Chain A
Amino acid sequence: MIMDTEALLRSLTGDLRPVRRLAPPVRRAMGWFAASLAFALYVAHVVGLRHDLPVLFTDGRFIIEFAAMLLTGLMAAAAAFCAGCPGRPLWERFAPLPFAGLWIASVVFGCWQDLMRSGAAGLAVTPDPICLPTILALSTIPGAAILVMIRRGAPLAPLSTTALAALAALALGAAAMRLTHDGDANVMVLVWQVGSVAVLICAAMLFGRRLLHWPERHA
Chain B
Amino acid sequence: MAQAAHRCLPRLGRDAPFGVAESSNPLLDPRSPLVMSNQSPPIPPSATATSRQASEERWRELMRSAQSGDARAYSLLLAELLPMLRRVVGHKWKNANTVEDIVQEILLSVHAVRHTYDSSRPFMPWLMTIANRRIADAARYHAGRAAHETTVDVMPETFSGDQPKSTQDLNETHDLLRQALSILPESQREAIELMKLKELTLAETAKVTGKSIASLKVSVHRAIKAMRAHLERK
Contacts and interface: CB of A to CB of B under 8 A. Distances in A.
B78 A19 contact: no
Nearest to B131: A86
Given A16-B69, A18-B2, A86 B112 contact: no
A156 B117 CA distance: 13
Contact of B108 (A14, A16, A84, A217): A217
Interface in B103-162: 103-105, 107-109, 111-119, 121-122, 124-130, 133-134, 137
Size bracket of the A interface: 20 to 34
B68 A18 contact: yes
A217 B134 CA distance: 13
Contact of A10 (B14, B105, B114, B129): B14
A156 B111 CA distance: 14
A86 B134 CA distance: 12
Given A2-B104, A9-B107, A10-B17, A86 B125 contact: yes
B205 to A, nearest CB: 10
Contact of B104 (A8, A152, A153, A215): A8
5 contacts: A6-B17, A9-B17, A9-B107, A13-B75, A14-B71
Given A21-B115, A85-B116, 8 more contacts: A9-B78, A19-B114, A86-B116, A154-B116, A156-B129, A214-B112, A218-B201, A218-B202
Interface of B: 2-3, 14, 16-17, 66-71, 74-75, 78-79, 82, 100-101, 103-105, 107-109, 111-119, 121-122, 124-130, 133-134, 137, 201-204, 213
